[in-house]
Amino acid sequence: MKVHKVGSWIALLVVMTMLLAACGTNKDSAKNGEKESAAKTTTIKIMSVSQTENPDGPAEKEMAERYMKLHPEVKIEFIGVPMNDLYKKITAMATSGDLPDAFTMTPQFARTANGMGITADLTQLLGTEYLKEFYPNIIEESSVDGKLQFLPWNAAPMALVYRGDWFEQEGLKGPENWDEFLEAAKKLTKDTDGDGKADQWGFGMIGTRNGSGADRFIAIMRSYGVEELRKDESGKWVSDLATPEAKEAFQFFVDLNNKHGVVPPGVTETGFPEAASLMATGKVAMMLTGPNALGNIVSQNPELKGKLYSVPVPAKVKHTATFGLLGYSIAESSKNKEVVADYLKFMVEDENALKWNELSGRLPTKIEVGKQQQLTTPEYAGFVKALEYAFTIPAFDQYSQFQDIVAEAYQSMIAANQSVEAATKRAADRAAEVIGNSK
Amino acid sequence: MLSSKSGLKGVWFILPAVVTLLVLITYPLIYGAYISFFDTNLITKWDFVGLKYYVDIFSNSEFLNRILLTLHYTFWVVVGHFIIGTGLALILNMKLKGITVFRVILILPWLFPEVVVGLLWKWLFNPMYGLFNAVLMNWGWIDDPVSWLGNEQTAFAAVIVVSIWKGFPMVMMLLLAGLQSIPEDVYEAAKIDGCTRSTAFRYVTLPALMPVMVVTLILDTVWWFKHFTMIWILTQGGPGNATNVVSIDIFKQAFDFFNFGKASAMAILVFFVCWLMGYGYRRLFGNGDD
């Protein structure tokens, strides 16, 4: 009996082994087929901040899919990363030698990235003739020491976005200066449901302690003629943070919350996503932002299409704006530089750039596309004009510290009622220390 | 006495643990200390600066202020954990009906990832849509919404409350395990000797629990002294510097300002602070087993 059973088991095992071997053969041949096609396919990995935003993320994916249809031998994979985590992620991946083929880059970080030696020289890769198709000041802003750090995909100059319909109802016009701005903000801060408490505010102030909040305040401060960092006549780095004009700018910004009450509660917790949501839900009338906010707000509330107008950042002594440039660097370590460069060129082609502008609101960077675009509508007019006032980020390795310095100052004044004297003194001291350490 | 052959066997047994410790603990520690002597971007720039960052740190009061703030934060969090954790451990140690359900519910905060806890509480504190403001305004306790995380005083308290909520289950579970390891016979003997419930707690429970308490105290203190995630999510160290504990400062130095050398020097000093705290506790309470 036992012998019989053992025989049955052996027979069963033999049959199963044969079956598995047959399956293995099929799998092997399938794997071989995959390997063959994989050998022909070039996969490029792109780290993108757009992937974490809407409608930008799906639109960028759709563009990549169109490219892949035209180039079946290329496969594009995205790694999404929020803007506020971008520099940390790049640094961490660079130190572990794990950078993707391309990654989002800004002028603020370009100098640091260049110092790390992680960015390929796009001037060489793309050729100077090709780069002549772009606005020269944009190419300059995207370069470090004559080496193009990233292909500028789009510009998002900062301007003031406001509810055109509410302004018209109140008989207001787009504010030209900060006095008109404050007047409008006060008029548009109101109690709409009659419960005795404000539920609509004039200004969606972004007061977080990060680049998002700091860049906005720096634009305001520059409109007061104050530069957080500049070179003096002798070529030395200096900061204007302790000047009376700087104090005036800080005081004005903080008073919007502490004195005039024209911003919603929780200003130090309000970042860009929160402010955009407040605008989309009809809680605030104005916000300082790039044109990308238009796409974001309208995607949250389509009823606002055509109701959002823009003007340049109001002036104290002058209008001002950041370029808000965003583009892609190609990693020096990438083995597919030519393929990535070709895809980047595809992204800024006329048709794609215009489509991207229409969807995300960001402005194109090529001269010919700029001529073709329909940006004379009230939504975009302010942004287009703002480009005239855009300033260049100081070419200083530790520039990100200045963002933290000003953000610490306004938060201390808002949250701890620190005096403008104390806050600006600390800001100036920190600035001097950073400048001193850079020598 | 072990023969040389069995001694060699012993080496093989401990080798995996030794290698793991060397790779995961010793190497990062030494590398961190090494970085602290350089002005570096970790890739192309390695300028030796010696003790410059340590001198910088000690030559202004910034770092000391951060350490004091962190100690302040850690003190209240650990006190909160021990009050709530001990109280609940004593209750859960009673033979009450349905106690298992409460054990499961009370362990939940510890099971949630820190990121989830941070976001959850951030929404609860939200001045526009948060539950706390809605409830307090409904009850008429406040007239206008409060920005709990946007005010210097309330932000620090809010961060402590969230940290206590997140961390008390660990203390509770460790102390509960300690309580359950005390034999019933000892209590019976104490009762025969005339101990009341409170004197039994004083003379039986507390001494028997001391080893667990000391270990828990060291673990909890060091853990929360180094804490980063939830504070970062809730306030990012703000508003101003109200919740800018040392871990956040180190993170900013490294990943916002790219001062990896200085960040490493600060981290090495934090390591020594934590070591000193552990040493202090052991000196103060003994090792808990004598």
pLDDT for the residue numbered A36: 52
B240 touches chain A (CB under 8 A): yes
Size of interface A-B (CB pairs under 8 A): 96
* Mean pLDDT, rounded, for A346-367: 86
> Which secondary-structure segment (H or E) carries A312?
strand A308-312
- A88 contact residues in B (CB cutoff 8 A): 255-256
**Position B281 confidence tier, pLDDT thresholds 50, 70, 90:** confident
Residue A139 covered by a domain: yes
pLDDT one-digit tens code per residue, B270-279: 999 999 998 8
Which residues does A36 contact at the CB level (< 8 Å), separation at least 6?
A: none
pLDDT one-digit tens code per residue, A152-170: 998 889 999 999 999 999 9
What CATH number is attached to the domain comprising A139? 3.40.190.10
Count CA within 13 A, CB hemisphere, residue B132: 14
Residues A283 and A192 sit within 8 Å (Cβ to Cβ): no
pLDDT one-digit tens code per residue, A11-69: 555 555 555 554 444 545 455 555 555 557 889 999 999 998 877 888 899 999 999 99
CB atoms B240 and A415 under 8 Å = yes
pLDDT for the residue numbered A3: 47
B236 touches chain A (CB under 8 A): yes
- Most B-contacting residue of A144, A268, A402 (CB-CB within 10 A), to test interface: A268
pLDDT for the residue numbered A5: 56
* Mean pLDDT, all residues of chain A: 87
Residue B1 covered by a domain: no
B278 touches chain A (CB under 8 A): no
pLDDT for the residue numbered B255: 87
Q: A272 and A174, same structural domain?
A: yes
Residue A418 covered by a domain: yes
Distance CA B178, CA B115 (A): 30
B146 touches chain A (CB under 8 A): yes
pLDDT for the residue numbered A136: 87
| Of A62 and A10, the one with more pLDDT | A62
pLDDT one-digit tens code per residue, B127-155: 888 999 999 988 988 888 889 998 888 99
**Position B112 confidence tier, pLDDT thresholds 50, 70, 90:** very high
* Mean pLDDT, rounded, for B111-127: 93
* Mean pLDDT, rounded, for B175-200: 89
Taking CA B274 as the corner, what is the angle to CA B272 and CA B278, rounded to the nearest 5 degrees?
A: 115
| Of A10 and B89, the one with more pLDDT | B89
Residues B211 and B234 sit within 8 Å (Cβ to Cβ): no
CB atoms A265 and B42 under 8 Å = no
Q: A319 and A404, same structural domain?
A: yes
Residues A400 and A434 sit within 8 Å (Cβ to Cβ): no
Residues A88 and B255 sit within 8 Å (Cβ to Cβ): yes
**Helix, strand or coil, per DSSP, at residue B183:** coil
pLDDT for the residue numbered B290: 46
DSSP state of A303: G
CB atoms A404 and B257 under 8 Å = yes
Closest-CA distance of chain A to residue B75, Å: 23
pLDDT one-digit tens code per residue, A56-115: 888 899 999 999 999 999 999 999 999 888 998 999 999 888 999 999 999 888 988 998
**Which residue numbers of A have CB closer than 8 Å to B's CBs?**
87-88, 91-92, 94-95, 112, 115-118, 197, 208-210, 264-269, 278, 283, 398, 400-401, 404, 408, 411-412, 414-416, 418
Closest-CA distance of chain B to residue A90, Å: 10
Distance CA A14, CA A17 (A): 5
Interface pTM, i.e. ipTM:
0.80
In A32-110 the beta strands, taken as DSSP E runs, fall at 42-48, 74-80, 102-105
pLDDT at B282 exceeding the cut of 90:
no
Q: A317 and A296, same structural domain?
A: yes
Domain count along chain B: 1
- A118 contact residues in B (CB cutoff 8 A): 43
- Most B-contacting residue of A197, A206, A269, A405 (CB-CB within 10 A), to test interface: A269
pLDDT for the residue numbered B1: 52
pLDDT for the residue numbered B11: 87
pLDDT for the residue numbered A18: 53
Q: A133 and A118, same structural domain?
A: yes
pLDDT for the residue numbered A432: 93
pLDDT one-digit tens code per residue, A258-301: 999 999 999 999 999 999 999 999 999 999 999 888 888 998 99
Residue A175 covered by a domain: yes
Amino acid in position B144: D
User: B244: domain range?
Assistant: 38-286
Residue B18 covered by a domain: no
CB atoms A401 and B257 under 8 Å = yes
Residue A6 covered by a domain: no
Q: A280 and A238, same structural domain?
A: yes
pLDDT at A329 exceeding the cut of 90:
yes
* Mean pLDDT, all residues of chain B: 90
CB atoms A268 and B238 under 8 Å = yes
pLDDT at A400 exceeding the cut of 90:
no
Place of tokens 């104390």: A422
Q: Which two tokens stand for residue A282?
A: 């009809």
Work out whether strand A102-105 and strand A308-312 pair parallel, antiparallel, or are unpaired.
unpaired
* CB < 8 Å & 24+ apart, contacts of A131-134: A133/A366, A133/A367, A133/A368, A134/A365, A134/A366, A134/A367
pLDDT for the residue numbered B88: 93
Q: A224 and A245, same structural domain?
A: yes
A404: nearest CB among B127, B147, B256: B256
Distances in Å between the Cα of A14 and the Cα atoms of A11, A23, A51, A374, B274 are 5, 14, 52, 74, 63
B128 touches chain A (CB under 8 A): yes
Residue A32 covered by a domain: no
Distance CA A376, CA A412 (A): 40
Q: A409 and A332, same structural domain?
A: no
pLDDT for the residue numbered A426: 93
- B122 contact residues in A (CB cutoff 8 A): 269
pLDDT one-digit tens code per residue, B10-59: 888 899 999 999 999 899 999 999 999 999 988 888 999 999 999 999 98
Place of tokens 């509770």: B172
B241: nearest CB among A197, A400, A408: A408
Q: What is the value of pTM for the model shown?
A: 0.82
Q: A202 and A126, same structural domain?
A: no
**Position A384 confidence tier, pLDDT thresholds 50, 70, 90:** confident
Closest-CA distance of chain A to residue B170, Å: 30
pLDDT for the residue numbered A4: 53
Residue B8 covered by a domain: no
Residues A400 and A108 sit within 8 Å (Cβ to Cβ): yes
pLDDT at A201 exceeding the cut of 80:
yes
CB atoms A268 and B241 under 8 Å = no
Q: A312 and A234, same structural domain?
A: yes
What CATH number is attached to the domain comprising B103? 1.10.3720.10
pLDDT for the residue numbered A366: 86
Nearest of B248, B83, B107 to residue B166 by alpha carbon: B107
B248 touches chain A (CB under 8 A): no
CB atoms under 10 Å from CB of A255, counted, come to 16
Q: A375 and A316, same structural domain?
A: no
CB atoms B147 and A267 under 8 Å = yes
Q: A236 and A108, same structural domain?
A: no
Domain count along chain A: 2
- A210 contact residues in B (CB cutoff 8 A): 236
CB atoms A268 and B239 under 8 Å = yes
Residue of B nearest to A264 (CA): B128
According to DSSP H, which parts of A96-195 are helical? 107-116, 122-126, 128-131, 136-141, 164-169, 178-187
- Most A-contacting residue of B148, B241, B259 (CB-CB within 10 A), to test interface: B241
pLDDT one-digit tens code per residue, B80-111: 999 999 999 999 988 788 888 888 888 899 99
User: A307: domain range?
Assistant: 159-323+393-437
CB atoms B44 and A408 under 8 Å = no
pLDDT for the residue numbered B2: 53
Nearest of B28, B31, B32 to residue B262 by alpha carbon: B32
Q: A213 and A296, same structural domain?
A: yes
Residue A30 covered by a domain: no
| Of A188 and B194, the one with more pLDDT | A188
B151: nearest CB among A112, A115, A415: A415
pLDDT one-digit tens code per residue, B212-264: 999 999 999 999 999 999 999 999 888 988 999 999 999 999 988 888 999 99
A411: nearest CB among B41, B128, B239: B239
- B146 contact residues in A (CB cutoff 8 A): 265
